[in-house]
Structure 1
Amino acid sequence: MNSDFRIICSRISQYFTRRKDTEYYLQVVNDLYDQTYNFFINIRPRNQRMHSIPLHTVKNYRLEYLEQLINKITEQYHFSIVYDGFVGLRWPNRQELIQKRRHKDE
């Protein structure tokens, strides 16, 4: 987990420039076909298009591992996180739904 965490955090710090009037948030996508989790940082300056930048692909396809990784990332960075492809799944430790409903582009 430490290598995935270090890679993701180093890439977040590379793209998180704290510009004025800019929205930053993370997106985690469950890739059912490759059985991986893909991390993206989405950057949207005011009155401009959103840029989605891939950060890392986590190949350890276990929800327990993903939950620990997300917890470590949110300790360091307090971004909003959007989940795609997790409809109906629950976090193993917290037993909360990960994604309540499908997004319109899913």
Structure 2
Amino acid sequence: MTETPEKAAELIWERAAPHFKKLYRTQYYIKVANVKFLDEYNFFFETVPMKSKTGIRRRSEPLHTLERYDLAYLERVVAELSKLTKLSIRYQGFVGMLWPTSGKVIATANVSDQEDKWLAEHNKD
């Protein structure tokens, strides 16, 4: 049975929602990783606290794997997921690639570059 983009997005959000704790001074987002050597896309829920005194560390929770390695299919899944949540969606391994339908650039920088910049801006003493 083939997974529809709607079902994939619902499953991803169902798995992500329990991790969204709405903690003060904490950044949350969904990361989509392009795993080229396995021909799949992986979704993660990322939690990035700023200067945590409570011992909470950065966490990455795996949510779902799309084994259908098709950029147009991924674009539909992301569109459906965006309807379910207002969380940011960041992309790893998509630098310079374009969405097939809209022709827009998927990512100009990898997630780790974006995280480093955000942490540097928000962890100033």
Show structure 2 runs of 5+ residues with no match.
Answer: 114-125
Quote the sequence identity (%): 33
Please state if 1:40 is matched with 2:44.
Answer: yes
Counting strand residues as a fraction of each chain, which structure ranks higher?
1
Q: Deviations over 1:45-100 (max 9, x none)?
A: 23133111111111111111111110111111111121111122100111011122
1:69 pairs with 44, 56, 77, which one?
A: 77
Q: Pick which of 1-10 and 95-104 moved more.
A: 95-104
Q: What is the identity, as a one-letter code, of the residue corresponding to 1:46?
A: M
Match of 1:33, SS? coil
Match of 2:96 in 1: 88
Q: How many pairs were matched up? A: 104
Moved over 4 A (4+): none
Match of 2:96, SS? coil
Please state if 1:55 is matched with 2:59.
Answer: no
TM-score (norm 2): 0.75
Displacement, 1:18? 1.7
Counting helix residues as a fraction of each chain, which structure ranks higher?
2
Show structure 1 runs of 5+ residues with no match.
Answer: none
Please state if 1:10 is matched with 2:14.
Answer: yes
Match of 1:20, SS? coil
Displacement, 1:12? 1.1
Displacement, 1:10? 0.6
- Rg larger in structure: 2
Match of 1:13, SS? helix
Q: What is the identity, as a one-letter code, of the residue corresponding to 1:3?
A: K
**RMSD, aligned α-carbons:** 1.6
TM-score (norm 1): 0.87
Name the CA shift for 1:92/1:13 in 2 (closer, same or farther; >3 Å): same
